[in-house]
Amino acid sequence: MKAPLVRIKGLNVAFDGAPAVRGVDLAVHPGEALGLVGESGSGKSVTWLAALRLLPGKAAVQGRVTLDGRDLLSLPTPEMERIRGGRIGIIFQDPSSALNPVLTIRRQISEVLALHRGLSGSAIRAEAKRLLDLVGMPDAEGRLNSYPHEMSGGQNQRVMIAMALAGQPDLLVADEPTTALDVTIQAQILDLLQLIRREMGMALVLISHDLGVVAENCDRVAVMYAGRIVESGPAAALFDAPRHPYARGLIDALPTLEDTRRLAAIPGVVPDPRDMPRGCAFGPRCAHAGPECLLDSPPLRAVAPGRRLACARPDLDLTPARPTPAPHLAEVTS
Amino acid sequence: MIRFILTRLLRAFVTIVLVVTFAFVVLRLSGDPATIILGPEAPPEAIAAFRASWGLDQPVMVQYVQYFAAIFQGDLGMSMRDGRPAFDLVMERIPATLALTIPALFLKLALGVPAGVYAALHQGTAFDRTVMVAAVMGFAVPSFVLALGLVLVFAVNLGWLPSGGRDTVWHAILPIITLGLGGAAALARFTRSAMLEVLGQPYIRTASSKGLAWAVVVRSHALPNAAIPTVTLIGFLVGSLIAGAIVVESVFSWPGVGRLMVVAVANRDLAVVQCILLLVATTMVTSNLIVDFLYGALDPRLRHGARAAA
């Protein structure tokens, strides 16, 4: 396997002493699509905001995040600014509030083009229009003079993507890019991300709480729970046969067309970061928890080629609660 | 857009009429000018003659209609005290007042806005806390107390500056500082909270994620948004250029509109008081009108809102 583009090692993030990310190790390889899944509060967004140093000053960040062997967390600010938007682009959950309401679309895209590509004048104008065309914006020329409030959420997300692509990044981090959008628009935006990734050969980190979205769009998946990665592996293999009870639970919670029975919710709630349970953080919610689960927080270990698992009982038989996998999963795994 | 402007102008006009009416009613309820100007021992015939000559013997409604009819002919009435047109008396005093309030306005802006922005950018630091304590003090301490404090220190103890009057430029310094500090405190607090609100918005994180330097994020992304609420307060400060110095002018014996107002109220000099209130209301309403139009320039969302609302 090629050397990873970005490698996160031993990342810890705490807010006012409450840990949000607890020892995350993650690698993103050039051109790959990595999915990061978990409930809200599991630390998946915080991991990448910390990696890009976009968290507020009160966040305590430890660990290493390397891009081409350089540690981003200790990089001087001007060099970090060249990486943000240049090497690594990021798009956010709610595009309507992520764009500046008083600046035109042209202005917001042009900033990136001037900063990272050194363009000016008519070249900026032409490139901004090309980017809007690329992200499938109707009437790109006219839209350049629009303000965010004059467009729909889906169009704003296209603008966000165009802005993130303007710096020609090697990695695009998409933080819940479709959560705030209508269901019909979600698919369009995800298709667009796939298309662009293939065309530009960039890597994609797709952060989502929606396993279905990640299954369809990613090569590899990492499942996060309470600030840790509990399982990772190739998307198809992981969804076919999850090894962690939490991953199993997430898959069982997905609705299917064939099965009209009640969805299997995971009982309980995510633990309070200030009051973590002893041993495995998922222990109190786990149907398979045994005495060994209370002893220690299980480390993430390789259990099969390309697959890693953090469970004190790695050999559980997690037969599906329902016979058929979700229809879109069947498509992926076939 | 034309309808928008017309409705705003109409609303401004109605506001001024209401202010003038209120002043008219309150002044008629607050004592008889005849007994005050002629003195309590004046003979009843003299008082009756005075009332008749100024039309005060008429029913209030008649006086009110006559008053408005006169205003529309450009006649704001005569001063009962020195028999000159009230408008001329007020206009004579305006330069003196503006000589205090305009420099004070610049002082407020020069101190308040940067202090508020800087405090917001360095939230929780010693500077931020100092600005906030100073701002609360600026709010809490009445201007006459601040004025007297400044007089005590700089006029009485140090002897650097005069304590009252309007003979030299030096006489203006203490009143300007008194006016400026109070407004700067309010403006600093307001700017800080507007700025903090904006800095917490997702689009600021987006701007950082594009690789813009923090100074650029603040200048191009935060300040234009924080300016929108701040302009409201600045508009209010501009609107009070005429009326904002009443207390300070009195403390420093500064012969401006404020002191004229105090004397006129004490004397029940109806025309003069009404003339000043009309002027004050017009200034305030005009500056609010300008703020309304400025909003549209600063915030593209309101351009459409305005069209939709009109």
Task: Tell me if B80 is assigned to some domain.
Answer: no
CA distance A183 to chain B (A): 23
Residue B150: which pLDDT band, with cuts at 50, 70 and 90? confident
The rounded distance, in Å, linking the Cα atoms of A300 and A57 is 29
Strands of chain A (E only): list them: 6-15, 18-28, 33-37, 59-67, 70-71, 88-91, 171-175, 203-208, 220-225, 228-234, 301-304, 307-309
Instruction: With beta carbons under 8 A apart, name residues in chain A contacting B202.
Output: 92, 94, 97-98
Task: Tell me if B268 is assigned to some domain.
Answer: yes
Q: Confirm or reject contact between B298 and chain A (CB < 8 A).
A: yes
CA distance B204 to chain A (A): 8
- The per-residue pLDDT of chain A, averaged, comes to 86
Q: pLDDT for B282-304, tens place per residue?
A: 999 999 888 888 888 888 888 75
B3 half-sphere exposure, CB direction, 13 A CA radius = 5
Q: Confirm or reject contact between B122 and chain A (CB < 8 A).
A: no
Cβ contact, residue pair B213, A103, below 8 Å: no
Phi, psi of A200 (to 5 degrees): -95, -10
Q: Which of A9, A49, A36 is nearest to A20 (CA)?
A: A49
Residue B221 has pLDDT above 70, yes or no: yes
Quote the number of domains for chain B: 1
Q: What's the confidence (pLDDT) of residue B242?
A: 84
Higher pLDDT, residue B244 or A263: B244
Q: How far is CA A172 from CA A5, A128, A157, A287, in A?
A: 12, 18, 14, 37
Residue A334 has pLDDT above 50, yes or no: no
Cβ contact, residue pair B224, A103, below 8 Å: yes
Q: Is the pTM of this model over 0.90?
A: no
Task: Tell me if B160 is assigned to some domain.
Answer: yes
CATH of the domain at B299: 1.10.3720.10
Asked if A21 and A50 count as a contact pair (C-beta separation under 8 A), the reply is yes
Cβ contact, residue pair A92, B202, below 8 Å: yes
% chain A with pLDDT above 70: 93
Q: Are strands A171-175 and A203-208 parallel, antiparallel or unpaired?
A: parallel
Q: How far is CA B93 from CA B3, B96, B256, in A?
A: 37, 6, 5
Q: Confirm or reject contact between A153 and chain B (CB < 8 A).
A: no
* Closest residue of chain B to A99, computed from CA coordinates: B203
Mutation target among A83, A96, A100 for the B interface, most CBs of B within 10 A: A100
Q: Confirm or reject contact between A115 and chain B (CB < 8 A).
A: yes
B79 half-sphere exposure, CB direction, 13 A CA radius = 19
Q: Which of A251, A255, A271 is nearest to A263 (CA)?
A: A255
Q: In what order do the strands lie in the sheet with A301-304?
A: A88-91, A171-175, A203-208, A33-37, A220-225, A228-234, A307-309, A301-304
Q: Are strands A70-71 and A88-91 parallel, antiparallel or unpaired?
A: unpaired
Q: What is the mean pLDDT of residues B120-148?
A: 88
Q: Angle CA(A158)–CA(A163)–CA(A216) in degrees, nearest 5?
A: 50
Task: Tell me if B296 is assigned to some domain.
Answer: yes
Task: Tell me if B301 is assigned to some domain.
Answer: yes
Cβ contact, residue pair B209, A54, below 8 Å: yes
CA distance B291 to chain A (A): 17
The rounded distance, in Å, linking the Cα atoms of A190 and A184 is 11
State the DSSP code for A285: G
- Both tokens of B173, joined, read 């310094």
CA distance A188 to chain B (A): 22
Task: Tell me if B2 is assigned to some domain.
Answer: no
Residue B306 has pLDDT above 60, yes or no: no
CA distance A160 to chain B (A): 9
Q: pLDDT for A252-287, tens place per residue?
A: 877 766 666 666 778 788 888 888 888 888 888 888
Amino acid at residue number B42: A
Q: What's the confidence (pLDDT) of residue B200?
A: 92
Strand, coil or helix: A334 = coil
Residue B104 has pLDDT above 90, yes or no: yes
Q: What's the confidence (pLDDT) of residue B208?
A: 94
State the DSSP code for A283: G
Q: Confirm or reject contact between B124 and chain A (CB < 8 A).
A: no
CA distance B1 to chain A (A): 18
Question: Which ipTM did the prediction report?
Answer: 0.86
Beta bridge partners of B74: none
Instruction: With beta carbons under 8 A apart, name residues in chain B contacting A106.
Output: none
Q: Which range among A6-15, A54-63, B19-28, B279-288 shows the weakest confidence by mean pLDDT?
A: B19-28
Residue A320: which pLDDT band, with cuts at 50, 70 and 90? low
Across the A:B interface, residue pairs with CB atoms under 8 Å apart total 77
Q: Confirm or reject contact between A111 and chain B (CB < 8 A).
A: yes
Mutation target among A91, A102, A106, A117 for the B interface, most CBs of B within 10 A: A102
Q: What's the confidence (pLDDT) of residue A260?
A: 63
Q: pLDDT for A114-129, tens place per residue?
A: 999 998 889 999 999 9
Structural domain including B121 reads 92-309
Length of chain A: 334
The rounded distance, in Å, linking the Cα atoms of A83 and A52 is 8
Q: Confirm or reject contact between A54 and chain B (CB < 8 A).
A: yes
Q: Which domains does chain A possess?
A: 6-218 (3.40.50.300), 245-333 (no CATH)
Q: What's the confidence (pLDDT) of residue A259?
A: 64
* Closest residue of chain A to B213, computed from CA coordinates: A81
- The per-residue pLDDT of chain B, averaged, comes to 87
At a CB cut-off of 8 Å and minimum separation 6, what does B133 contact? none
Task: Tell me if B189 is assigned to some domain.
Answer: yes
Q: What is the mean pLDDT of residues B150-177?
A: 84
Burial annotation A21-35 (CB, 10 A radius, 16+ → b, else e): bbbbbbbbbebbbbb
Task: Tell me if B13 is assigned to some domain.
Answer: no
Q: What's the confidence (pLDDT) of residue B25?
A: 86
Residue A331 has pLDDT above 60, yes or no: no
Residue B310: which pLDDT band, with cuts at 50, 70 and 90? very low
Q: What's the confidence (pLDDT) of residue B33?
A: 80
Cβ contact, residue pair B210, A78, below 8 Å: no
Instruction: With beta carbons under 8 A apart, name residues in chain A contacting B224.
Output: 102-103
% chain B with pLDDT above 70: 97
Q: How far is CA A161 from CA A19, A92, A190, B202, in A?
A: 31, 9, 11, 15
Residue B58 has pLDDT above 90, yes or no: no
The rounded distance, in Å, linking the Cα atoms of B275 and B91 is 10
